[in-house]
Amino acid sequence: MKIPITKAIFDEAEKAAILKPLESGWVVQGPNVAEFEKMFAKHAHTPFAVALSNCTTALHAGLVAMGIGAGDKVIVPAFTYVASANAVEYTGATVVFCDIELSTFNIDIPKLEQLLKTETNIKAIMPVHLFGLCANMPEIMKLAHKYHVKVIEDAACAFDSWINNQHAGTFGDCGCFSFHPRKAITTGEGGMLITNQESLAKHVSQLRDHGASKSDLQRHKEKGGSLLPDFTMRGYNYRMTDLQGALGVCQMQKTTRIMHGRREIAKRYDHDLKQFPQLVIPVVPKGYIHGYQSYVCLFAGEEGLNQLTKEKIDRLNRQRNIFMEQLEAKGIATRQGTHAVHTLSYYKNRYQLKESDYLMAYAADRLSITFPVYAGMSDAEFNYVIQNIHEVLTQCVELVE
Ligand SMILES: Cc1ncc(COP(=O)(O)O)c(C=O)c1O
């Protein structure tokens, strides 16, 4: 049996929807993108949603619109996808990494406060809601107000993730989502920035469209559409196509099915993986609703995760890798959760960092393991995964002893 890490849920509705822009000829940022934005804003209970070409461009445009640039510093968790840090560097600002809390994979609040106290020129925090679990936004917003810094939420993985009925991306100045196929809802490539600040939404709308003061859709709806509008800022081409917009509209129509399906599989993993002390299942703090963009455990082996040192992490890492290789040999896709960005050559060299500088991020990089999750995963597929985890874990321990 072959079990992929995830599967996009496309059916006849998506096939029909992408034909519409092909037939109308309006294939770039048009009525479907506008409809997708409207539906996304409604879902997240936010007034403004601006679709962009992907989450990285959304983060970049958001940072620019917040006034972040050369000479500024932005705090980014050390365990995230490299795009979070790259977006900061695109603006000319400098990344300041912060370690994470291993249990949630999200930014460590006491360490964040320490950085805000000691570093100069911090202009913004970019909390990441990793794998669909919100970072501790109530505490982060308290710190942001105390230290007068802006907040841009990297909500790439956080579609339908909530804290006490508040959607990810609505706590800070803005939040940015990804619709890459590894995400819960997908448009192939795609991104969305949400905000409750009208001026920020307008600024990002212009930035995504070369700085144009009016979008093509607006111009075509108005009289005098043959004249180009004024360009009042240096912008980018970060537009979403209307084909992607059409996919987005269809995906929004099936969010209940997609999210319910993913959460049901996560619940079954929570139940079945508890029997394996070698695996630590994801934590969901009270009041949080996990979106399960990924179902990510920590590999604790026979030793457990107490008193982690680099040597212990490296030892467990060798076992985790054998475990993953053996599952792969059985046709089951797994992945490390994401990477510790400070260990990647570019960032390590640029900021002269050591792996042990952010030890929990290093541990998460070396010990995390993502299991397959998708809506519609059959009982046979799920049971095959559990049965093989059981078999391989037993062998894996024998292999390293
Ligand atoms: C945490 C995080 N931030 C940013 C991104 C970038 O998203 P995109 O590929 O849509 O640019 C990703 C994508 O995987 C991500 O996981």
Q: Is residue 94 part of a domain?
A: yes
pLDDT band at 398 (very low <50, low <70, confident <90, very high): low
Q: Is residue 65 part of a domain?
A: yes
92: number of Cβ within 10 Å:
13
Q: Whose CA is nearest to atom 1 of ligand 1?
A: 81
Same domain for 303 and 240?
A: no
Same domain for 215 and 338?
A: no
Residue 56, ligand 1, Cβ within 6 A: yes
Same domain for 233 and 260?
A: no
In tens, the pLDDT along 248-264 reads 999 999 999 999 999 99
Q: Which of 86, 157, 293, 370 has most ligand 1 atoms within 8 Å of CB, for mutation?
A: 157
Residue 384, ligand 1, Cβ within 6 A: no
Q: Domain residues for 216?
A: 12-253
Answer whether residue 396 shows pLDDT above 70. no
10 Å CB burial of residue 334 (0-12, 13-18, 19+) is buried
10 Å CB burial of residue 207 (0-12, 13-18, 19+) is buried
- Cβ neighbours of residue 87 closer than 8 Å, sequence gap 6 or more: 56, 59, 60, 63, 126
- Is beta strand 174-178 parallel, antiparallel or unpaired with respect to 150-154? parallel
In tens, the pLDDT along 131-145 reads 999 999 999 999 999
Same domain for 206 and 65?
A: yes
Q: Is residue 344 part of a domain?
A: yes
Answer whether residue 400 shows pLDDT above 60. no
Q: What are the Cα distances from residue 177, in Å, to 191, 308, 356?
A: 5, 33, 30
Q: Is residue 2 part of a domain?
A: no
Answer whether residue 162 shows pLDDT above 70. yes
Cβ atoms of 125 and 153 closer than 8 Å = no
Question: Residue 399: its pLDDT value, please?
Answer: 54
pLDDT band at 220 (very low <50, low <70, confident <90, very high): confident
| Listed residue (71, 69, 137, 75) closest to 341, CA to CA | 75
DSSP 180: S
Question: Residue 113: its pLDDT value, please?
Answer: 98
Q: Is residue 312 part of a domain?
A: yes
Question: Residue 110: its pLDDT value, please?
Answer: 98
Q: Is residue 6 part of a domain?
A: no
What CATH number is attached to the domain comprising 276? 3.90.1150.10
In tens, the pLDDT along 343-379 reads 999 999 999 999 999 999 999 999 999 999 999 999 9
Same domain for 261 and 242?
A: no
Same domain for 67 and 189?
A: yes
Cβ atoms of 158 and 55 closer than 8 Å = no
Q: What are the Cα distances from residue 248, in Å, to 10, 60, 150, 179, 206?
A: 11, 21, 29, 8, 21
Residue 95, ligand 1, Cβ within 6 A: no
Same domain for 368 and 221?
A: no
Pick from 253, 269, 296: which residue ends a domain?
253
Same domain for 243 and 380?
A: no
**58 by DSSP, 3-state: which?**
helix
pLDDT exceeding 90 applies to what percent of the chain? Answer: 95
In tens, the pLDDT along 269-323 reads 999 999 999 999 999 999 999 999 999 999 999 999 999 999 999 999 999 999 9
Q: Is residue 5 part of a domain?
A: no
Same domain for 194 and 48?
A: yes
Beta bridge partners of 97: 76
pLDDT band at 224 (very low <50, low <70, confident <90, very high): confident
> 78 — phi, psi (to 5°)?
-75, -20
CA distance 266 to 290: 10
CA distance 270 to 291: 14
In the reported structure, the alpha carbon of residue 249 is separated from the centroid of ligand 1 by a whole-number distance in angstroms of 20
> 152 — phi, psi (to 5°)?
-120, 120
Same domain for 249 and 389?
A: no
| Listed residue (79, 263, 64, 240) closest to 159, CA to CA | 263
What CATH number is attached to the domain comprising 201? 3.40.640.10
Residue 128, ligand 1, Cβ within 6 A: yes
Same domain for 280 and 215?
A: no
CA distance 281 to 266: 10
Task: Report how many domains make up the chain.
Answer: 2
Q: Is residue 228 part of a domain?
A: yes
Answer whether residue 76 shows pLDDT above 90. yes
Pick from 230, 253, 276: which residue ends a domain?
253
Answer whether residue 218 shows pLDDT above 90. no
Answer whether residue 401 shows pLDDT above 80. no
Q: What is the DSSP string of 279-292?
A: EEPPP--TTEE---
> 2 — phi, psi (to 5°)?
-110, 120
Same domain for 213 and 143?
A: yes
Pick from 216, 238, 253: which residue ends a domain?
253
